[in-house]
Structure 1
C-alpha cells in the first residue's frame, strides 16, 4: 500500500514541477538536478523517475499526444493538461509495474484536482486513444471526442455570480404595513 501512495504523491509532485518548468522555461532535468522545486512538491524517487523519463522521451511523447488529440496542437493546450498528459504517457509506456488503466485513472484524478472543469474528460479521451494504439482494451467514448472541440476552462476563471432579482417595495405598501402594526 505504501508503494501506491508513494506513486500517487510522486505523480502529484511531478505534475507541479513539470508545470513550473513550463512556466519558467527551465528544462525539467535541470529543475530536478538542481533541486529547484516548489516547496509543496518535494520529490520522491518516483517523481524523479517520471520527470527524468519525460525529459528524455519528450519528443516521442509529444508526437503521440499530438497524433491522439483532435483539434488541439500540443503547444496550445493548457499547461496543466499538457504536463499531465506527458507524465501519464511516459508512465503508460515505460513503467511496467503500473497497469495502463491505473495510470489513466490517476491522471483523471489529478486532472480533477488541478485542471479546469472539463480537463479530466479531455485527458481521459487522449490517454484512451494512446492506450488503444498500445493494444490496451479501453472503452471509446463519443462524449470525450466531442469535448476536444471545445477549449478547456481554467480553474482560475472568475466564477459566475448569480444574484436574486431585486423586488421593489412600493412606499405606500410599506407605510400601510407600518400603520397596521401600530394598532
Structure 2
C-alpha cells in the first residue's frame, strides 16, 4: 500500500487565470477603483505567481470592463424573472466573464467558456448558482453564430 500523500491537483493556468479574473471582477463590482491598472497591480501582488502568469486574466478583465454595457445587457435580457440588482455579485462576475468570452473572444470555443463558467460557479458560489448560470449561458449558446466546440478562424 502506498503511504505517500499525493499533492492536490492544481488547476490549469487558464482556469487559475479565470479564477483570478472572477475574484478581481467581484472586487471591482463592490468598489470600482479610479485606476484599473493600479488596482490590478495591487491585486496581483497578493498572489504567489509573477504578474506575467496572470496575463490572460488581465486580458479578460480589461475586456469585460471595456464591454461591460453590452455584457450586462445580455445578462438583463436572459435573466428572466430576475432584476439585475438581485443577482448575487459573485454570479454576476462569473456571468460577465463568460458572456464577454462568448461575445468577444472568438479564439475560445463557446462550450469551453460555458463549462468554465459552470465550474467557477461551483467554486465561488452556492450550489444553486450552477443552474442559474447554466440557464443564462444556455440561452446565449443558442444565439451564437459560430461552432460551439472550436475556436473561430
Fold in common (TM above 0.5)? yes
1:23 and 2:30 are equivalent in the alignment: yes
The one of 51, 57, 62 equivalent to 1:52 is 62
Give structure 1 stretches of 5+ with no counterpart: 139-183
SS of alignment partner, residue 37 of structure 1: helix
Note if contact 1:6-1:46 (Cα within 8 Å) is conserved in structure 2: no
Hey, what does 1:178 align to over in structure 2? none
Hey, what does 2:13 align to over in structure 1? 6
How high is the TM-score relative to the length of structure 1? 0.66
The one of 79, 86, 91 equivalent to 2:96 is 86
Hey, what does 2:151 align to over in structure 1? none
Deviation at 1:32? 3.5
Note if contact 1:32-1:48 (Cα within 8 Å) is conserved in structure 2: no
Cα distance in 1, alignment partners of residues 82 and 37 from structure 2 = 29
Cα distance in 2, alignment partners of residues 61 and 85 from structure 1 = 9
Cα distance in 1, alignment partners of residues 21 and 78 from structure 2 = 22
Give structure 2 stretches of 5+ with no counterpart: 1-10, 149-153
Q: Deviation per CA, 1:134-163, whole angstroms, max 9, x where unpaired? A: 24688xxxxxxxxxxxxxxxxxxxxxxxxx
The one of 122, 128, 135 equivalent to 1:112 is 122
Hey, what does 1:176 align to over in structure 2? none
Deviation at 1:36? 2.7
Distance 1:77 1:134, change over 3 A: same
How high is the TM-score relative to the length of structure 2? 0.78
Cα distance in 2, alignment partners of residues 136 and 113 from structure 1 = 28
Cα distance in 2, alignment partners of residues 89 and 111 from structure 1 = 14
Greater C-alpha Rg: 1
